[in-house]
A and B are shown apart, each in its own frame.
Chain A
């Protein structure tokens, strides 16, 4: 991406520099009353402008396509990060659940003791 895009941007810079110089000459010719010469120059100036706009359109299109690929890669990276966050949250949840489960077993055992009084120990030492 870099080479082609950088090349096109460098060409655009050079074309813009030319446009600036031609525009200044055209302004000076117009102000000096050299209308014919100014008009002749204007034809070339507009042709250059059309070329610049053509290239700008190409650059915008190419950049947009390249950026879409990069955007997708960044979204994938963000997805991985979200997975890491979820995993850490899950780890905490596992601990919390363990605490809850012990509480549940505790409750169940107390309930069993209440409904089966004097129940013999199923696992004698």
Chain B
């Protein structure tokens, strides 16, 4: 089959020109993966920080129950598990008037971890889509695109001659190279649009996430306050009076609250940082202030976590 080259060439060139105008109009440079990686790293820090705090709250609640049983406030009979009649895999604290709080806190911790995990997965998908995944970019590299163009040239050239189509080598190269380069630009442009669209669509969920996570942290702070008031009484009324354990308790409590405050601020900074990611896809000039704030909060959080670990180690040491 002989293709009338004189007719097809202007059409192909017009198509390439149209694609070119479309792509150039929206820009075709790669997305900067830095802000996306930064966002994902910060979210991971929040996940680790909040899980450790929720774990500490569950442990404290369990210890509280142990002390209540020891002092006779709670009967050991209330701790017996009741097995579901119709499902041998399901148990509950059905013999007690109400389920112990530590069980609720274990569920709370799992819920908080699942919520954070969902956000971490989303943030990592954003990194992947932006081209910063650990396994490399989802798009071929420039070299791979060039290789694709060369293969296309070679294949198309031989196929054309086998089909009896006479095309000059320069024309073959012009056609396929331009097409592949435009395709590359089109895909890059699509990636940019997909990122921006996804970020915009998910923004309300991130706002909800931020609020829910801040409420969870507020709740943990409330638990820490109650625990403090329970623990201070025997220490403050002990004879002979001893300030050391009281000050150690104060240090640990203050370090815990500082960590929770940093966590709350970090979660509060998340929506703005997420909005900044949309700006990062379009490479608009201007600083990513929300993302910088989140990163700083995450760094501050790490500092408090370190301080808290030191305070806990000091509290565990013999007084």
Contact = CB atoms under 8 A, between A and B. Distances in A.
Interface in A1-41: 1-2, 5-6, 9, 12-13, 16, 19-20, 23, 26-27, 30-31
Interface string B156-191: 101100111000000000000000100100010011
Contact of B208 (A13, A70, A78): A70
A84 to B, nearest CB: 4
B226 interface: yes
Interface in B204-237: 205, 208-209, 211-212, 215-216, 218-219, 222-223, 225-226, 229-230, 232-233, 236-237
Contacts of B112: 67
Nearest to B140: A92
Contacts of A13: 222
Nearest to A84: B194
Given A1-B212, A77-B122, A99-B152, A70 B233 contact: no
Contact of A67 (B73, B198, B202, B212): B212
Given A71-B114, A96-B148, A23 B233 contact: yes
Given A9-B222, A12-B222, A99-B151, A64 B2 contact: no
A57 B225 contact: no
Contacts of A66: 212
B139 A88 contact: yes
B230 to A, nearest CB: 7
A6 B208 CA distance: 14
Given A16-B226, A70-B209, A95-B183, A6 B215 contact: yes
Contact of A20 (B115, B148, B219, B225): B225
A61 B219 CA distance: 12
A23 B232 contact: yes
Nearest to A18: B229
Nearest to A26: B233
B126 interface: yes
B202 A49 contact: no
A125 B230 CA distance: 97
Interface of A: 1-2, 5-6, 9, 12-13, 16, 19-20, 23, 26-27, 30-31, 46, 49, 52-54, 56-57, 59-61, 63-64, 66-68, 70-71, 73-75, 77-78, 80-82, 84-85, 87-89, 91-92, 95-96, 98-99, 102-103, 105-106, 109-110, 113, 121-123, 125
Interface of B: 1-2, 73, 98-99, 101, 104-105, 107-108, 110-112, 114-115, 117-119, 121-122, 125-126, 128-129, 138-140, 148, 151-152, 155-156, 158-159, 162-164, 180, 183, 187, 190-191, 194, 198, 201-202, 205, 208-209, 211-212, 215-216, 218-219, 222-223, 225-226, 229-230, 232-233, 236-237
Given A1-B211, A23-B232, A106-B155, 8 more contacts: A9-B219, A23-B229, A27-B237, A57-B98, A60-B101, A81-B126, A103-B155, A122-B1
9 contacts: A27-B233, A56-B222, A67-B112, A74-B115, A75-B121, A77-B122, A81-B126, A85-B128, A88-B138
